[in-house]
Structure 1
Amino acid sequence: MSLKKKIGMGVATAALGLSLVGGGVFAYFSDTAESNNTFAAGTLDLNLNPEIVIDVKNIKPGDWMNRTFELKNDGSLDISKVLLSTDYTVTDAKGDNAEDFGKHIRVNFLRNIDKSGAIKPNDIIYSTTLHDLKGTAPDAVQKKIWSVFGENSGLKAGSKDTLKVQFEFVDDGDQNQFQGDSLQLKWIFDAKQTAGERK
C-alpha cells in the first residue's frame, strides 16, 4: 500500500474515532408528547313557522288580520338578535294609484309572548306602516319593556319565541284607487350571533 493511501486511511480512521467520541459525549435521553387539537364552529339555524305569515284576499279599508308565528333557534349557538327586513311590491290593477298601497297597511306588533312577562303583558309594542317599515331592520326578539318573568332579549339555542302581529288596512275615507290591487310582502329574519367570549 502506498504512503498516500496509508495516510488517507489514517486520517479517515481518526475522523471516525472523533465522531464516535463526540457522539458519546453528547448522548442523552429523549421523549416526545403529541397534541391533537380541534376547533369546531357552532351553528346559527333560525326557522320560521309558518313560513307564510299572512295570505289574505278580498280585504277592504278597515279590515284587520291577527297572525301568530314562531321564530325558533335550531342551531347550537345563542342568537343575540333577529333583524326583520321588509320589502314589498304593489300590483296596481287599474294603473291609477296616486299613493303607495304600503302606506295604508299598518303593522301592529302586538306581543312577543315569551318576552312580555306574566304580570304585565305587552299590548301593541310597535306600530308602523309597511311603507315606513321598509328599509328599517328592527329586532324581532328584543324585550321591549320591563315586566316580571319575561325572557331577556335574544334567542337561546334550542328555544323559540312566539310573536303576535296584526295587519290593518287603515280606512282614511278615500281609497278607491286600491280596488283590485295586491301587495306582495317579503319579510326576511336575519339572525345575529352573540358577542365573542372566553372558552
Structure 2
Amino acid sequence: MTNFKVAGGNAVHIKKEIVSSLILAFLGLSLIVGGTNAYFSDTKEAANTFELGLMNLGINKESIIQLDDFIPGDTVQGDFELTNDGSVDMQEVVLHSSYELIDKGQNNNGDDLGNHIIVEFLHHESVLFEKTLSELNGNPIKILNAFTAGSKAEKFIVRFHFIDNGENQNHFQGDILNLKWGFEAAQRDGKSSNQ
C-alpha cells in the first residue's frame, strides 16, 4: 500500500474545520433568529357599521300660488306644509327667495314690481315677517328652528299684497313676475356618544 503525503494537508484540514464551524454558526444563528419569530397568536375582528342619516325636507305643493289678473289693492293667500321626512333632526329651515320680472307692457323705467308686492309670512298664525319681494330677493330668512325627524307637519300661510300707492301704476300692466322659493334645511349639530 502506497501512502502519498500531500503537502499542506494540515492546512486543508484546518480550512475544512473553519468552514464547518462557520456553517454550524450560521445555522445556529438562523435557528435563534427564526426562533424569535415563533409564538402563539390569535386574531379577532369586529364589524362596525356606520349608517348615515338622511336629510329629507318635504313640501306638500309644487306651487304655492298661481294667479292671473293681479292688480294694485289685491291680496291673495296660499298655504303649504313642510315635513321632516328624513332620519336626522334639522337645526333650521331657511327660505331663499328670488324672482324674475318679464316686462311685457310699458317700459318700467327701473321701477321694480318687487317693491310693490308685500309678503306676509305666517307660521301657526303668527307673523314671522312682512317684507316686500325686493327685500326678500337674495336675502335668506330662517322660518323654522329645531325641526325633529318624524315630527308633525309644519303649516305656513303666505299672503301677497299688491300695494296700491295711489299713483299711476299702468306700466306694470301685462308684466309677469316669476317667483322662486327654495327651502334649505340644515342638519343638527354633531354630537358625541358612547356605545
Q: Which TM class, normalised by the smaller chain length? A: 0.7 to 0.9
Give, in whole Å, the separation in 2 of the partners of 1:30 and 1:154: 51
Distance 1:18 1:94, change over 3 A: closer
Distance 1:22 1:96, change over 3 A: closer
Between Structure 1 and Structure 2, whose CA radius of gyration is higher? 2
CA contact (8 A) 2:128 2:143 kept: no
Q: Map 1:2-41; keep pairs closer than 5 Å.
A: 3=13, 4-20=15-31, 28-41=39-52
Distance 1:62 1:22, change over 3 A: closer
Could you tell me which residue of structure 2 aligns to residue 178 of structure 1? 172
Could you tell me which residue of structure 1 aligns to residue 89 of structure 2? 78
Alignment of 1:158 with 2:158, yes or no, is no
1:10 partner amino acid: S
1:131 partner amino acid: S
**TM-score normalised according to structure 2 size:** 0.79
Could you tell me which residue of structure 1 aligns to residue 9 of structure 2? none
Give, in whole Å, the separation in 2 of the partners of 1:35 and 1:136: 49
Aligned residue pairs total: 178
Distance 1:155 1:93, change over 3 A: same
Identity of aligned residues (%): 42
Could you tell me which residue of structure 1 aligns to residue 70 of structure 2? 59
Could you tell me which residue of structure 2 aligns to residue 101 of structure 1? 113
More strand by share: 2
Give the CA deviation at 1:47.
2.2
| SS of alignment partner, residue 11 of structure 1 | helix
Q: 1:137 aligns with which of 140, 143, 164?
A: 140
Distance 1:23 1:181, change over 3 A: closer
Alignment of 1:46 with 2:71, yes or no, is no
Give the CA deviation at 1:25.
7.4
Once the two structures are overlaid, the 10-residue window that deviates more, 28-37 or 130-139, is 28-37
Give, in whole Å, the separation in 2 of the partners of 1:25 and 1:60: 93
What is the RMSD computed on CA atoms of the aligned residues? 2.3
**TM-score normalised according to structure 1 size:** 0.78
Gap regions ≥5 residues in structure 1: 114-121, 142-152
1:79 partner amino acid: M
Gap regions ≥5 residues in structure 2: 1-11
Moved over 6 A (4+): none
1:165 partner amino acid: V
